[in-house]
Amino acid sequence: MAPDSYNPVNHRAVEVLVSKLRRRQVIGSREAALETVRVLRQVVSKARFSNIDQLVNLIRSVGKRLVEAQPKGNTVRKILHHIREEYNTAINGVASTSSKPVFSISNFVLQGQPRKQSVALKSEGSMTLKENDPDDPDSFARGLKPVLMEAIQDVLDELETVYDTVSKNAKDHIHSDEIILTIGYSKTVEAFLKAAAHSRNYTVIVAETGPSYSGHEMARALSSAGISTFLVPDSSIYAIMSRVNKVILGAHAILANGGMFAITGSLLAATAARVHSTPVAVCAGQFKLTPLWNLYHEFGALDFADPSSVLGFEEGNLVDKVDVMNPYYDYVGPELVDVFITNDGDHPPSSVYRLIKETYDDDDHEL
């Protein structure tokens, strides 16, 4: 049911991205987001549409394909949101400001997009956009496209600077002589810790997390930046937790209920920290927010990986008789996290739902 302006060129670009995601050739969620935005930019620039709904449907169909490859269509949703915003401002000329904001819970729930009034005016004056013009079906598209490309470029810029914005307040969170515990390898956490190391002197304990042992790269990266680092196996997380001042984790996805998916081992670290009353901070870019909240009920969301890294084939006689499990992600509930440090500021898990309302449109929750 793709609209007939479904360009074969777009089709190819999307297919390439889908197969890359499926084969996990795109490493890191930021990379995936960047690639998605680039592909969507291509799609939008080449698309031909006469009214906004066609464009939206086009992008949604692309998004559906991407979501099948990797169940997190956040960037698609974000772009749709921006597109709708731009469209609304273009149509209405001046952005409509609501009356004096009334702060009550019911308003937040009813309003939907409370940020609408603060949209910057990108289009000058009032553009006359005629939808479904029978004579000139492309006029609508032509008029709207530059604005859309700018909006998409904004998203791209935000994605590219996410590490810097997250680490802006790093030195407020970390003090001298602290011992920080982290798990595995997250680029956001690495940037955060390196930024704090410029002005603070502290120690980091990295738990290599099996079976990916990504903690080794993290330890190497941090120690080459001059931060004293200790590498420990995950079995000793509880043992050293009594000396740790803070736990800083990276996230793969932040769910709407304030919980998150993170690399395996994060649940152990967060639970041990809770037992010792140690604060847990999570560094993540805003693009990791997802409006789905019940993913943790799905066992498959844990993204099982190759079992031979747990029990290799060299243990030949065991391989038949034994089941091996190798989940890639852990679900960490909202009660175990104290703060989410994002490029948009610091938020407690209880207000994640508000962020989601502001960033995404309600209709896009189901792509």
Stretch that binds other proteins, among 72-80, 130-138, 250-258, 307-315 (CB under 8 A): 307-315
Q: Which is nearer to other proteins, 63 or 184 (CB)?
A: 184
User: Does 232 participate in binding other proteins (rule CB under 8 A)?
Assistant: yes
Cβ burial, residue 65 (10 Å; 0-12/13-18/19+): middle
Q: How far is the CB of 197 from other proteins (least distance, A)?
A: 7
Contact with other proteins (CB under 8 A) among 213, 279, 293, 339? 213
Q: Which is nearer to other proteins, 9 or 325 (CB)?
A: 325
User: Does 294 participate in binding other proteins (rule CB under 8 A)?
Assistant: no
Say which residues have a Cβ less than 8 Å from residue 196's Cβ, sequence separation at least 6: 167, 170, 171, 173, 174, 202
User: Does 278 participate in binding other proteins (rule CB under 8 A)?
Assistant: no
Q: How far is the CB of 173 from other proteins (least distance, A)?
A: 15
d(C-alpha 298, C-alpha 296), whole Å: 5
Stretch that binds other proteins, among 109-117, 252-260, 311-319, 357-365 (CB under 8 A): 311-319
State the angle between helix axes of 52-69 and 29-46 in degrees (0 to 180), rounded to the nearest 10.
150
| H runs (alpha helix) in 174-263 | 187-197, 215-224, 237-241
Cβ atoms of residues 41 and 17 within 8 Å = no
User: Does 299 participate in binding other proteins (rule CB under 8 A)?
Assistant: yes
User: Does 326 participate in binding other proteins (rule CB under 8 A)?
Assistant: yes
Contact with other proteins (CB under 8 A) among 235, 294, 350, 351? 235
The total number of residues shown for the chain amounts to: 367
Cβ atoms of residues 342 and 284 within 8 Å = yes
User: Does 182 participate in binding other proteins (rule CB under 8 A)?
Assistant: no
Q: Which is nearer to other proteins, 43 or 170 (CB)?
A: 170
Q: How far is the CB of 74 from other proteins (least distance, A)?
A: 23
Cβ atoms of residues 240 and 230 within 8 Å = no
User: Does 216 participate in binding other proteins (rule CB under 8 A)?
Assistant: yes
Q: How far is the CB of 201 from other proteins (least distance, A)?
A: 5
Q: Which is nearer to other proteins, 147 or 280 (CB)?
A: 280
Cβ atoms of residues 329 and 262 within 8 Å = yes
Say which residues have a Cβ less than 8 Å from residue 311's Cβ, sequence separation at least 6: 318, 319, 322, 324
CA atoms within 13 A on the CB side of 341: 26
User: Does 272 participate in binding other proteins (rule CB under 8 A)?
Assistant: yes
User: Does 345 participate in binding other proteins (rule CB under 8 A)?
Assistant: no
Cβ atoms of residues 15 and 69 within 8 Å = no
Among the listed residues 289, 249, 256, 351, the one whose alpha carbon sits nearest the alpha carbon of residue 72: 289
State the angle between helix axes of 29-46 and 8-22 in degrees (0 to 180), rounded to the nearest 10.
170
Stretch that binds other proteins, among 27-35, 52-60, 92-100, 325-333 (CB under 8 A): 325-333
- Given the structure tokens 């791209």, which residue do they identify? 156
Q: Which is nearer to other proteins, 146 or 312 (CB)?
A: 312
Q: Which is nearer to other proteins, 103 or 313 (CB)?
A: 313
CA distances (Å), 315 to each of 27, 210, 346, in order?
30, 18, 47
Q: Which is nearer to other proteins, 144 or 206 (CB)?
A: 206
Token digits for 222? 């941090």
Question: How many binding residues for other proteins (CB under 8 A)?
Answer: 68
Residues that bind other proteins (CB under 8 A): 171, 176-177, 179, 197, 199-201, 203, 208-211, 213, 216-217, 219-220, 222-224, 226-240, 242-243, 263-265, 267-268, 271-272, 275, 299, 302, 306, 308-315, 317-318, 321-327, 330-331
